[in-house]
């Protein structure tokens, strides 16, 4: 498994020198989840309950993302980091509910490692992904009714434009569908998160997407 480092705008790198975007491509799209994935979600639902869920945010990796959120100007108690959001959703729903192959693979990866992962349609991307501030009047993706972004908002971009908001929404024009042939997985690594946990999150996604 080969992980590729994304590019970082120099101004962003100066302000957040340890911030990294990491990506890899998996030759798979999405669709109904396999029984093995549904079983894994049920196992995680039993494991992540009650006191375990409450204690989750105090662990080193969730804490690293809470610290990063504060450095980015995001309140982690209002705009929850992805791993915490998944745990809260599990408590509200009573279980991790199967959605589709990609979303379920990401749920398992994030719940088991605490490292956030997202996926975009490889064929709709132009070159490697990176992090930069949004330009004036730039929009999120290219779909009709694409939302205009605030100037300077930190975004995930490829060679042609913005494909996602950092720790926010992805461009509807680039989402993975049932017709997607390959998925570009990417993650944003917070300082203090060990490389091995990043690799494990990608490995889980790759494994479950290609069952």
**Domain at 185, CATH number:** 3.50.40.10
pLDDT grade for 115, boundaries at 50, 70 and 90 = very high
pTM: 0.95
Predicted confidence (pLDDT) per residue in 26-80, tens digit = 999 999 999 999 999 999 998 887 777 778 888 999 999 999 999 999 999 999 9
Counted domains in the chain: 1
Rounded-to-integer distance, Cα 44 and Cα 168, Å = 24
How many Cβ atoms sit within 10 Å of the Cβ of residue 110? Answer: 24
Q: Tokens at residue 15, please? A: 């302000």
**Edge-to-edge, what's the strand order for the sheet holding 183-189?**
4-5, 20-26, 183-189, 118-121
Q: How far apart are CA 24 and CA 27, in angstroms?
A: 10
Domain of residue 159 covers 4-209
What strand order describes the sheet that includes 154-157? 7-8, 130-133, 154-157, 162-165
Asked whether the predicted pLDDT for residue 101 surpasses 80, the reply is yes
Query: Residue 125: pLDDT above 90?
Result: yes
Mean pLDDT computed over every residue of the chain = 94
Q: What is the pLDDT of residues 137-163, one digit of tens each?
A: 999 998 776 888 988 899 999 999 999
The pLDDT tens digits of the residues spanning 162-205 come to 999 999 999 999 999 999 999 999 999 999 999 999 999 999 99
């Amino acid at each position: 498994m080969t992980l590729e480092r994304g590019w970082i705008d120099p101004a962003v790198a100066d302000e957040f020198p340890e911030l990294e975007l990491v990506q890899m491509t998996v030759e798979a799209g999405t669709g109904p989840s396999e029984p093995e994935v549904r079983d894994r979600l049920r196992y995680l639902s039993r494991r992540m309950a009650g006191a375990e869920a409450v204690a989750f945010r105090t662990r080193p990796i969730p804490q690293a993302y809470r610290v990063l959120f504060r450095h980015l100007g995001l309140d982690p108690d209002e705009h929850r980091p992805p791993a915490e959001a998944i745990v809260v959703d599990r408590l509200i729903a009573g279980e991790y509910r199967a959605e589709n192959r990609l979303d379920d693979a990401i749920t398992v990866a994030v719940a088991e490692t605490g490292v956030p992962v997202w996926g975009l349609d490889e064929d709709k991307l132009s070159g490697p992904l990176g992090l930069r501030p949004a330009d004036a009047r730039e929009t999120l993706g290219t779909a009709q009714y694409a939302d205009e972004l605030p100037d300077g908002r930190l975004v995930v971009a490829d060679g042609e434009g913005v494909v996602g908001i950092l720790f926010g929404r992805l461009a509807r024009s680039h989402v993975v569908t049932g017709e997607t042939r390959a998925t570009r997985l990417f993650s944003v690594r917070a300082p203090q998160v060990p490389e091995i946990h990043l690799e494990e999150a990608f490995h889980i996604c790759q494994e479950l997407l290609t069952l």
